[in-house]
């Protein structure tokens, strides 16, 4: 079998397809706020978020001890970019298309227009010198909520969930969207 030729990619940042979401938090200056994030994963009730350690968001989240993950659809592209480009500003004021409801479990905003919302309680923030300007927030998931039309009998309608993905490198970054193609886990190993 002939091996494809590989070349090394020299870049400080590589986004190879990460879910992009709005991180909602309690803000001492603005009441509630949000930022746009593209680095996370979940396992069971654990959620880990990678975030710039010098930003306003991490300071506020560390003080409040909680946050929400709010997954937008492609109808919220402007609001999503506002969240990533206006550090320290009242982003809910800038993004007039967003409304919030205070979580009943934690002191953080649920963004009503997002299709999926996850309430999280901070367990630990880890900074390692090896990773420079970034840290990881380890959190316990306290609640998960989804738009009612995306579930049936308590089961997620996976084919209707259409999150936005972030791809690129130092040179250029882009958004990608799902198409309607769907295969279930196990379809390829039969």
Q: Is residue 125 included in any domain, yes or no?
A: yes
| SS (HEC) of 161-188 | CCCEEEEEECCCEEEEECCCCCCCCCCC
* Distance between CA atoms of residues 111 and 161, nearest Å: 17
CATH label of the domain that carries residue 106: 2.30.110.10
> Mean pLDDT in the chain?
91
Give the chain's domain count: 1
Q: Is residue 89 included in any domain, yes or no?
A: yes
Q: What is the pLDDT of residues 66-124, one digit of tens each?
A: 999 999 988 899 999 999 888 888 999 998 889 999 999 999 999 999 999 999 999 99
Q: Is residue 133 included in any domain, yes or no?
A: yes
Q: Is residue 76 included in any domain, yes or no?
A: yes
Whether pLDDT at 190 is above 80: no
- In this predicted structure, what is the pLDDT of residue 106? 97
% of the chain with per-residue pLDDT over 70:
99
Domain range for 52 is: 15-164
Looking at per-residue confidence, does 182 or 189 come out higher?
A: 189
- In this predicted structure, what is the pLDDT of residue 51? 94
Q: What is the pLDDT of residues 36-53, one digit of tens each?
A: 999 999 999 999 999 999
Q: Is residue 9 included in any domain, yes or no?
A: no
Q: Is residue 148 included in any domain, yes or no?
A: yes
- Residue owning tokens 């020299």: 10
Q: Is residue 41 included in any domain, yes or no?
A: yes
Q: Is residue 111 included in any domain, yes or no?
A: yes
């Amino acid at each position: 079998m002939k091996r494809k030729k590989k070349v090394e990619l020299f870049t400080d940042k590589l986004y190879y397809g990460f879910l992009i979401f709005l991180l909602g938090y309690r803000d001492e200056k603005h009441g509630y706020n949000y930022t746009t994030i593209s680095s996370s994963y979940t396992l069971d009730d654990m959620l880990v978020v990678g975030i710039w350690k010098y930003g306003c968001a991490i300071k506020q989240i560390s003080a409040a001890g909680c946050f929400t993950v709010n997954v937008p659809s492609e109808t919220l592209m402007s609001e999503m970019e506002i969240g990533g480009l206006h550090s320290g500003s009242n982003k809910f004021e800038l993004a007039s298309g967003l409304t919030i409801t205070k979580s009943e479990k934690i002191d953080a905003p649920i963004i009503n227009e997002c299709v999926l919302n996850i309430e999280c309680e901070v367990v630990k923030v880890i900074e390692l010198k090896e990773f420079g300007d970034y840290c990881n927030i380890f959190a316990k998931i306290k609640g998960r909520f989804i738009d009612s039309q995306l579930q049936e009998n308590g089961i997620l309608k996976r084919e209707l969930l259409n999150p936005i993905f972030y791809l690129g490198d130092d040179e250029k970054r882009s958004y990608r969207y799902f198409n309607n193609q769907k295969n279930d886990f196990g379809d390829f190993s039969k």
